[in-house]
Structure formats: C-alpha cells, structure tokens
Amino acid sequence: MPDHRSGVAARLQADLSTNLDRLAADVVALAEINSGSFNPEGVTRCGERLGSLIEPLAPVRLEYVDIAPTSVMTDRGVLETRPVGPALVATKRPEAPFQVLLFGHLDTVYPVDSAFQRVSRQGNTLYGPGVADCKGGLVGAIEALRGLDDAPWGEQVGWRFAAVPDEEVGSGGSKAWLQAMGEGCHLGLGFEPALPSGGVAAARKGSLTAHLVVHGRSAHVGRSHADGRSAIRALAQLIEVLESNNASPGVTVNCGRISGGGVLNAVPDLAIGSFNVRVESVAAHRSIEQAFSDAVTAASVDGIEALVQWTSARPPKERTETLEELLDDVVAAAASLGHPLVAEDTGGSCDGNDLAAAGLVNVDSLGVCGGGIHSPDEFALVESIPQRAALVVELIERRIQGR
Ligand SMILES: [Zn+2]
C-alpha cells in the first residue's frame, strides 16, 4: 500500500518525546488521588482532575454521570450494594462522519486505606498506584486527542471519551451506560495497560463472578449431630463438583473465597463460596452457567438449600473477522512508527469485552507499557506514552482512509 499518510502521528510522537516531564506530572497528579473502586469521593476528584486535563481540547462537552452501585456478597450470604463514583464522558464533534469511543477507567484496586498511595519516579519509570492501570493510559488518550486536533483530516473525526468508576469491580453499574456510549461509533479504543510484551490484547476470556450460598441446619455436635445438615460440608462437595469443570477445554473455575460456620460445637448452617470463572467462548459461558445451576439443584436435598448468585459477567471477546482486521491495522501502524508490537490472546477481561459483545469493534490495551498491575510494584514507562498516543492517531488515520 503506498504511504500517503499525513505524518501527523510521527510528529506527535517526536513532540511528546521531548515533553516527558509534563506527561509524568499529569500521571502523578491522577495517581496520587486515591480512587479505589469503593472510594466514590476519590473517584469523583480523579474524574474532575481528568476533566481539567481534557478541557483545553475545547470546544468539548464534559459530563459527570451517576453510576449504579456495585453488588457485593456479605458473609451473611446476602447481597449488598456499595456506592461508586460518577463516570466522566467528554464529547467533541458529535456530527463528524467517523465516530470513535475512547474508554478507560478512573478506579483502581487500591482501597482508600491502602499503604500504596504515592508515586515515585526513577528515570522515566513511575512507580505508583494506578500509574499503568490505567491512569497513564488516560493521559495518553488525551495526548492522542490533542494530536487529532492538529491533523489535517481531524475534522472528519468525532469522539466520546468515557471513563468509568467501577471497572476493577466488574463494571456492573456502568456496563449498560458504556455500551450506550459506543452506539453509533465506528471504532472503540481502550486504554488498559499494554500486555507485558508491549503488545495489545486480541481475544480475551470472559470473566464471571458467582457466589454459592448454602443453608443447612444447625444442631449441637454432642447431643444431636445427626439432626444437623452441614452447610460447610455441602459447599465443599459443590466446590469439588464445580472445579472438576477445569477438565473441560475453554473453562477455568476457581473458588477464591469461602466463609461460613461459627462455633465449633454446632453444625454450621451457612456457608458461602465465591468463584471467578473464565470462559473462552460463548458456548463455554452458557455451559458453565448451566453446570452451576444443575449443581445447586442437585445439592438442595435433605435439609440443604443451595443457590447461586451471579454478580458480574463479562462475555468472552472472540477473534472475529472485524477484530482481526482492526488488529492488522494496529500492528501495521505500530511498525510504521518504529515500535513494532504483536496482538496476543489473554485470559484477562475488561470493558472491551462488553463493548465487543454490544457490537463495537475495539482494541482495548492502548494504554502505557508497564507492569506489576494490581500489586504494590505497579509501574509505568513514561516514554511509552508518546508511542501509544501516536499509535492511536496513526490507527485512526488508517481507519478513515480505509472506509
Ligand atoms: Zn484496568
């Protein structure tokens, strides 16, 4: 294909590479605001800070949108809701012929009382909460949008930039809203961190959260043990049955948390097991849901009552033809900018799964290179921000040319 592109992405990359201190400062400012998913006040402040970084792209419409709370399972076996902060959406040129949804999240996995709150910088590496996942990516997205404004073809491109407050807890409250933001868009660009290789995610497994709540019958261990029905024993058997699905291809079942029981001289009448399930295909998703439902039905006999509650479900993101075409463009765009990368399948899931399920073709890991995410070793490489911002601009140019 003849290279008749404008060179705007390469210029953006060169320009940003001389401004690493400013980029680092923007990431630090966002990352030092604690925005654990269940710290709505911090998420609000983080969103406002992000809004202040977007405002100079005027004229742009900024909106803060209330998001429904997240369901969590308590040790009493009942679901409760916990409030989350607002989402932010910024809109520019809504009438342009080519519409892009940029997406990321404001929240992090670090709660308000986490010991990991400050960012330190060594050379061009930032160590801090959320620097890679995904505040560095949010900063890169803004730089890409600034680059679009300088492109001779930029007027053809309108965008929505949506940042949700609850991605790290499954996006239960924001999912439908984000999917609606993607309606009418031609392309989705997500700013989750790059894969460890520096590559972008291709297929992603689906991720489901299930809670088994098992009720039994209490009885005194010494006097009337035979009258009791142990919820813990029934749960243990259920875990064994359900984890045996790991022998099936395309499914991973992990019971990661159990609670229940009480005093040791009473038969326990309550036990709760919480599971994360990963699925590679829609068919595997359906069959594992059925397996959970069959297992609790089979276990609910003779004084035991078991039920399953699903609190979040991200469907798998499969390698469709349209996704393959998009990934080819991403790989070609990165190579043309001098930083080749690969598209790889991954077991992790994100909002890109939900958007793909709603029909929006998207590449979701255009954020920074870094690592140690979800741990106190999280880090981000500042010099990857110019590369990723330029990649976004180059990719959009290729997509509008290909129309
Ligand atoms: Zn993330």
Centre of ligand 1 to C-alpha 172, Å, is: 14
pLDDT > 60? residue 1:
no
Centre of ligand 1 to C-alpha 190, Å, is: 10
Centre of ligand 1 to C-alpha 358, Å, is: 19
Centre of ligand 1 to C-alpha 348, Å, is: 10
Phi-psi region of 93 (alpha: psi -120 to 50; beta: other; left: phi over 0): left
Centre of ligand 1 to C-alpha 220, Å, is: 48
Buried b (16+ CB within 10 A) or exposed e, 205-229: bbbbbbbbbbbbbbbeeeeeeeebb
Q: Average the pLDDT over 109-129 and give the result.
A: 98
The CATH classification number of 8-205+317-401 equals: 3.40.630.10
Question: What pLDDT, in 10s, does the model give residues 51-93?
Answer: 999 999 999 999 999 999 999 999 999 999 999 999 999 999 9
| Number of neighbouring beta carbons within 10 Å of residue 82 | 14
Centre of ligand 1 to C-alpha 307, Å, is: 31
Centre of ligand 1 to C-alpha 168, Å, is: 6
Instruction: Please tell me the predicted confidence (pLDDT) of residue 385.
Output: 98
Centre of ligand 1 to C-alpha 218, Å, is: 43
pLDDT exceeding 70 applies to what percent of the chain? 99
Instruction: Please tell me the predicted confidence (pLDDT) of residue 6.
Output: 78
Centre of ligand 1 to C-alpha 263, Å, is: 40
pLDDT > 60? residue 4:
no
Instruction: Please tell me the predicted confidence (pLDDT) of residue 303.
Output: 98
Question: What pLDDT, in 10s, does the model give residues 377-395?
Answer: 999 999 999 999 999 999 9
- In the block, tokens 């709603």 appear at 358
Centre of ligand 1 to C-alpha 109, Å, is: 9
Q: Average the pLDDT over 97-120 and give the result.
A: 98
Instruction: Please tell me the predicted confidence (pLDDT) of residue 403.
Output: 66
Centre of ligand 1 to C-alpha 193, Å, is: 7
Centre of ligand 1 to C-alpha 275, Å, is: 20
Centre of ligand 1 to C-alpha 21, Å, is: 24
Centre of ligand 1 to C-alpha 350, Å, is: 7
Domain map (residue ranges) of the chain: 8-205+317-401, 206-314
- In the block, tokens 């342009």 appear at 96
- Contact of 250 with 285, CB cutoff 8 Å: no
Centre of ligand 1 to C-alpha 349, Å, is: 9
Buried b (16+ CB within 10 A) or exposed e, 98-131: bbbbbbbbbbbbbeeeeebeebebeeebbbbbbb
- 242: CB partners within 8 A, 6+ apart: 253, 255, 275, 291, 292, 295
How is the beta sheet containing 362-363 ordered, strand by strand?
61-65, 87-92, 157-164, 98-105, 187-190, 362-363
Whole-model pTM: value is 0.94
Centre of ligand 1 to C-alpha 390, Å, is: 21
Question: What pLDDT, in 10s, does the model give residues 330-367?
Answer: 999 999 999 999 999 999 999 999 999 999 999 999 99
pLDDT > 70? residue 3:
no
Question: What pLDDT, in 10s, does the model give residues 21-36?
Answer: 999 999 999 999 999 9
Centre of ligand 1 to C-alpha 267, Å, is: 42
- Residue 159 CA to chain centroid, in angstroms? 20
Q: Average the pLDDT over 44-50 and give the result.
A: 98
Question: What pLDDT, in 10s, does the model give residues 284-327?
Answer: 999 999 999 999 999 999 999 999 999 999 999 999 999 999 99
Instruction: Please tell me the predicted confidence (pLDDT) of residue 402.
Output: 77
Centre of ligand 1 to C-alpha 105, Å, is: 7
Residue 205 structure tokens = 């497994």
Centre of ligand 1 to C-alpha 3, Å, is: 34
Q: Which of 242, 246, 229 is nearest to 300 (CA)?
A: 229
Question: What pLDDT, in 10s, does the model give residues 187-234?
Answer: 999 999 999 999 999 999 999 999 999 999 999 999 999 999 999 999
Centre of ligand 1 to C-alpha 364, Å, is: 10
Centre of ligand 1 to C-alpha 153, Å, is: 31
Centre of ligand 1 to C-alpha 134, Å, is: 5
Label residue 272 by pLDDT band (50, 70, 90). very high
Instruction: Please tell me the predicted confidence (pLDDT) of residue 97.
Output: 97
- On whether the 206-314 domain is CATH 1.10.10.10, my answer is no
Centre of ligand 1 to C-alpha 244, Å, is: 30
Centre of ligand 1 to C-alpha 346, Å, is: 14
- One-letter amino acid at 192 equals E
Distance CA 181, CA 190 (A): 13
Secondary structure in 3-state letters for the chain? CCCCCCCHHHHHHHHHHCCHHHHHHHHHHHHCCCCECCCHHHHHHHHHHHHHHHHHHCCCEEEEECCCCEEEECCCCCEEEECCCCEEEEEECCCCCEEEEEEEECCECCCCCCCCCCCEEECCEEECCCHHHHHHHHHHHHHHHHHHHHCCCHHHEEEEEEEECCHHHCCCCCHHHHHHHCCCCCEEEEECCCCCCCCEEEEECEEEEEEEEEECECCEHHHHHHHCECHHHHHHHHHHHHHHHHHCCCEEEEEEEEEECCCCCECCCEEEEEEEEEECCHHHHHHHHHHHHHHHHHHCCCCCEEEEEEEEEECCECCCHHHHHHHHHHHHHHHHCCCCCCEEEECCCCHHHHHHHCCCCEECECCCCEECCCCCCCEEECCHHHHHHHHHHHHHHHHHHCC
Instruction: Please tell me the predicted confidence (pLDDT) of residue 2.
Output: 40
Q: Which of 166, 206, 170 is nearest to 65 (CA)?
A: 166
Q: Which of 70, 73, 53, 72 is nearest to 62 (CA)?
A: 53
Centre of ligand 1 to C-alpha 65, Å, is: 20
Instruction: Report the alpha-carbon angle 278-192-135, nearest 5.
Output: 135
